[in-house]
Amino acid sequence: MREIQHTTAGNGRKHLPPAGKKWLLGLYDPLSKLFGVNKNRRKLIELARLQEGHKALDIGCGTGTLILNIKQRYPDIEIIGLDPDSHALALARWKAKKAGFQISLDKGFSDNLPYPDLNFDRVFSSFMLHHLDMEQNLATLREALRVLKLNGVMLLVDFDAQSHDAGKFVRHGRKAQRPSIIEEVIRTANVPKFERLFEKPTIFGTIGYYLIHKSPKNQ
């Protein structure tokens, strides 16, 4: 079993750094590009149907790749990135400065968002939920729905084991015990309206794309 190195945020809470270890952070972006992760993030942006005046949040933003992709396509969109890893946020700031973008980045956890209710039109989550346990995932979804405006949408892409490949799915070195991990989390959170758009097989397992809608039933 591979040992995962966690680091400690300012409030004493541990978290998993991008790429699993602090010393691998510099390789995170090249590896993401090599293994097609960035292509999957760009697909998530297409599904978001962003419009002028929208306000968006990227939870678990890491080194800011998704945020910068959004700003390149929609420069007038206001977007905030949140992540518990100060080193990843520092790299995201450097990348934004190099690209000539001004972005807002906050240090924090997805299951305790430091934002008011009904604040965002879109919430993004890309390859982040599989780092969390069930309790944290449930809290993350509930927090995302809390900060979404009415008729807002949460868009997520993540590793999502299905019945045909559940035995291959690995979360922190442990094989998944049940298929359709993300859908199980969504249903357990009692989300009344969501869509599993499609899946994509990869060498690391199935990737699932989801839309979670904020409707009056979510109130």
Q: What is the overall mean pLDDT for the chain? A: 78
Q: Is residue 31 part of a domain?
A: no
pLDDT the model gives residue 13:
64
Residue 20 has what pLDDT? 47
Kindly state whether residue 7 falls inside one of the protein's structural domains.
no
**Domain count of the chain?**
1
- The answer to whether position 45 is within a domain reads yes
With respect to residue 25, please indicate whether it lies within any of the assigned structural domains. no
Q: What pLDDT shows up at residue 40?
A: 78
Is 30 a domain residue?
no
- For residues 83 and 60, the answer to whether their CB atoms sit within 8 Å is yes
Range of the domain at 174: 36-218
Q: How do residues 140-163 score in pLDDT, each as one tens digit?
A: 999 999 999 999 999 999 888 653
Q: Quick check: is 111 in a domain?
A: yes
User: Phi first, then psi: what are they for 75, rounded to 5°?
Assistant: -65, -20
Identify whether the C-beta of residue 85 lies closer than 8 Å to the C-beta of residue 106: no
Whole-angstrom distance, CA of residue 25 vs CA of residue 169: 23
Is 81 inside any structural domain?
yes
pLDDT at residue number 9 = 45
pLDDT tens series, the chain, 219 aa: 222 233 334 455 665 555 444 535 454 454 555 455 667 788 889 999 999 999 999 999 988 899 999 999 999 999 999 999 888 899 999 999 999 998 899 999 999 999 999 999 999 999 888 878 889 999 999 999 999 999 999 999 988 865 344 344 344 444 444 457 788 888 888 887 898 887 777 776 788 899 999 877 555
- Over residues 15-44, the pLDDT tens digits come to 555 544 453 545 445 455 545 566 778 888
* Residue 19 belongs to a domain: no
CATH code of the domain containing 126: 3.40.50.150
